A and B are shown apart, each in its own frame.
Chain A
Amino acid sequence: MVQGGLQVLVKEGLRYRGREGQWTWLLHRLTGIGVFLFLALHIFDIFLMVFGEEVFNELIFLYHQPWARVGHIFLFFGLLFHAFNGIRVTIMDFWPSLWRYQRQGVWIQTVIFLAVFVPSAIAILMEILGS
């Protein structure tokens, strides 16, 4: 039983209205789960190297398909958000005097995130459309 865990997460998430701090907390959690699941899969696929060239190449071509490349855009989104949000949290943890600027921190982080994510996503999209 989930004991209403996920339901509580969504319901209370909508009700609580914690604004920037709460939304980034929720996204940090969700992107963390997403990156973890991809990482588990990725360790497994690299392990397939032990079975030799034929087996590995037969399966790795899946990552070259357009739908997998769209998945890569989600991976960029998740990993970049998690990374920049994690830096903000770490900075706040070590310098508590900055807490009063945490809302501004979220906006600075968002600008940096978009500056890295948007060009990356466009580059991947152009590659997909070009191939």
Chain B
Amino acid sequence: MFEALTSVRTAEQRMERSSNFELFAWLFMRVSGIILLVIALGHLFYMHFVVGVTNIDFALIAERWENPFWRIYDTFLLFFAFTHGTNGMRYIIDDYFRGGVRVTLKLLLYLLYFALMVMGTYVIVTFRV
């Protein structure tokens, strides 16, 4: 039982040593963070103080997506925000969980990431009234 745990940990550590993935993830958090500073805060303020949250309904979003600019904007926002968030959750899982729990939680996280990325991209790209 303990051998299994140790070997998982060594495999993880071996992988960490042999690839630049963690360095890339670190850089991605900084770069996407700076991008999100503009597009996520822009979205928050625009929707709250220009559009008005209580005005948001099906018709308003359908009209918004008539304009390809907003479809592209929303696709970028979806990708950068949810990828940044998912990687952050991965850090937190790594910090507080070990062994099988860690593996299970990460698997669930990646499933959620995949499902919501597909659902979000699908509706933004293919939506027709």
Residues of A within 8 A of B (CB): 1-3, 5-6, 8-9, 29, 32-33, 35-36, 39-40, 43-44, 46-47, 49-50, 52-53, 56-57, 60, 63-64, 69, 72, 75-76, 79-80, 83, 86-87, 90, 93-94, 120, 123-124, 127, 131
Grouping DSSP codes into helix (H, G, I), strand (E, B) and loop, the A interface class, with mixed when no group exceeds half, is helix
Give the contacting residue for A46; candidates B81, B95, B97, B123; CB below 8 A.
B123
Report the count of interface residues on B (CB-CB < 8 A): 40
**Is A63 touching B56 in the complex (CB atoms < 8 A)?**
yes
* Given known A-B contacts A33-B89, A79-B44, A83-B40, A72 and B53 have beta carbons under 8 A apart: yes
Interface check B9, CB cutoff 8 A: no
Cα distance A39–B86 when bound, in Å?
10
- For A1, A49, A131, which residue has the most chain B Cβ atoms within 10 angstroms? A49
Does B119 count as interface, using CB distance less than 8 angstroms?
yes
